[in-house]
Amino acid sequence: MKRKQSAKAGAEDRERRMAWWREARFGMFVHWGLYSQLGRHEWVMNRERIPVKEYERLADTWRVKSAPAREWARLAKRAGMKYMVLTTKHHEGYCLWDTKQTDYNAVKRTPGRDLVREYVEACREFGLRVGFYYSLMDWHHPDGARCAKSEPARRRFLDYTQALVRELMTGYGKIDILWYDVSWPLPTPEAWESRKMNRMVRKLQPDILINNRSKLPEDFGTPEEKIVAGEPGRGWEACMTFNGSWGYYPSIPAEDWLSVRKVLSMLREVRAGGGNLLLNIGPTPGGSVPPEAVERLIPVGQWLKKNGEAVYGMPERNGDCFAMDRFTRTGNTAYYWRRFWAGREMTLGGFQTKLKRVSLLATGRTFAFTQTAQQIKITGLPMKCPDRIAGMAVFKLEFKGKPKQRLGAGCVLL
C-alpha cells in the first residue's frame, strides 16, 4: 500500500517537474568541443584512432570568438525553441567548464574560458531552459576503459564522474535537464552507481529532468535520429542531427541538411506522438552557427510564430498511427497540416465528430464546408498554398467533441 502511494506521489512529482518540458516541444542541442576544430564528426578521435597524446594538443589551439552562446541562444529563441542542451563533456573527455577534477578543461587550456558559464548565462538572458549533456563514456581519462576490468579503476572513475556531475549541479544555479550519454563500458546501472548518482543530482536540483541514458529510465526516453513514441504517458524526445553529424562537419553538402519543411514535419510528428524534438547544431570551432542552420531555423521560427498553436502545449497523443497523415490535436480541435495543394476543394474522410468551424490557423480566415457521415468537404480554398514561409498551411478544425477519425484500414489516426 505504502509502495503504491509513494509510486503515485513519484508519478505526480514527475508530472509537475515535466510540465514545462512537455509544453515546450522544441529544443536546441549543441555539440561543441575540441573535435569541432577537426570538422570530421565528434567521434573523430575514435574513428581515426587518434592517440590520446596527439588529440590532447587540440586543447592548446581552440580559438573561440566572444560570446558565441549568445548567438546560439538568440537563434534558438527566434526559431521557436524553448530550451537548450550543451555538451559539457563529450566522449573526448574535454570539460568545457572550470572543473577542479582535471586540467583537461577549457579554462586551464584553450580557450581559457568557462564555456559552460557563458552558455548558462546566455540561456537565461534569452529566457531558455538550461540543459547539460554529459558523456559517461570518456576516451581521455586513463580509467575510462579499464574501469570495466579493474575494480580500483572503476572506483576512481566513478569518483571522478560523480565529482564532475556534482560540480555541474552546484556551480551554475538552476539546471533544468541532465542529458547523459553513452554508458560504455560498464554493463549495469549498479556498476555505474546510477541510482546513487541521480539521487545526488535530484538532491542538488530538485526540479531537474534526467534522460534515460545512465541505464535507468528516469524521466524521458531519447530516440536518436528517428521519431518513435515511447509508452503512452511517458516523456520522450527525439534527438536529431541537422545534417547527419552532431559535431561541426563543413564538408557535408547543403542538400544533405534537413529542409525547413522537414523540420516542420518532425515537429508535427513529435507533437502527434506526444514527444519533443531536440534539433542539433554543431557550431564552428570559433562558435558560429553554420549558415545552413541559420537559414533554416529562422523560417522555422517565423512559421511557428503563426502556426505554433498546432505544435506547443500539453501533448495529446493521436492514435497509434500518429505519424501517418498530417494531424495534430488539442482537445476538440484538430490541426490539419497541408502541404500538397490541388484546387479549391479538399475532402477529409472518416470524421465521426461534428465539425463546427474551419479556418486557416495563420490568418484566421474561415471556409465553408459540408459534412456527411464519411466526408467533410471544404470549399473556397485559395488555388495555391497560402503559406509563403514553408509551403505548409495548417487548417484549424474545431469540432463539437474530441475529434475521432476512422478510415477503416485498421489504423487509428485520431
Tell me which residues touch ligand GLC (CB under 6 A): 31, 42-43, 181-182, 224, 239, 246
In this structure, the number of other CB atoms found within 10 A of the CB of residue 322 comes to 24
Rg (CA), the chain: 23
| Identity of the residue, 244 or 291, whose beta carbon is nearer to ligand GLC in the bound complex | 244
| Identity of the residue, 31 or 154, whose beta carbon is nearer to ligand GLC in the bound complex | 31
- Minimum CB distance to ligand GLC, residue 208 (Å): 18
Q: Could you list the beta-strand ranges (E) of 137-218.
A: 177-181, 209-210
Dihedral (CA of 48, 51, 52, 57) sign: negative
For residues 281, 217, 89, 55, the Cα torsion angle rounded to the nearest 10 degrees is -90
- Minimum CB distance to ligand GLC, residue 267 (Å): 18
- Minimum CB distance to ligand GLC, residue 110 (Å): 22
C-alpha cell at 169: 549541479
| Identity of the residue, 132 or 395, whose beta carbon is nearer to ligand GLC in the bound complex | 132
| Identity of the residue, 134 or 322, whose beta carbon is nearer to ligand GLC in the bound complex | 134
- Minimum CB distance to ligand GLC, residue 54 (Å): 20
- Minimum CB distance to ligand GLC, residue 89 (Å): 11
- Minimum CB distance to ligand GLC, residue 213 (Å): 8
| Identity of the residue, 212 or 307, whose beta carbon is nearer to ligand GLC in the bound complex | 212
| Identity of the residue, 182 or 411, whose beta carbon is nearer to ligand GLC in the bound complex | 182
- Minimum CB distance to ligand GLC, residue 284 (Å): 17
274 neighbors 307 (Cβ within 8 angstroms):
no
C-alpha cell at 225: 535520429
186 neighbors 180 (Cβ within 8 angstroms):
no
- Minimum CB distance to ligand GLC, residue 133 (Å): 7
- Minimum CB distance to ligand GLC, residue 43 (Å): 6
| Identity of the residue, 224 or 316, whose beta carbon is nearer to ligand GLC in the bound complex | 224
| Identity of the residue, 239 or 361, whose beta carbon is nearer to ligand GLC in the bound complex | 239
**SS3 category, 107:** coil
C-alpha cell at 340: 500538397
Letter string b/e over residues 271-280, b meaning 16 or more CB atoms within 10 A of that residue's CB: bbbbbbbbbb
| Identity of the residue, 221 or 274, whose beta carbon is nearer to ligand GLC in the bound complex | 221
**SS3 category, 356:** strand
Distance CA 413, CA 328 (A): 10
**β 368-371/375-379 pair status:** antiparallel
Distance CA 413, CA 322 (A): 6
C-alpha cell at 261: 519543411
Residue keyed to cell 555505474? 192
Q: What is the DSSP letter of 355?
A: E
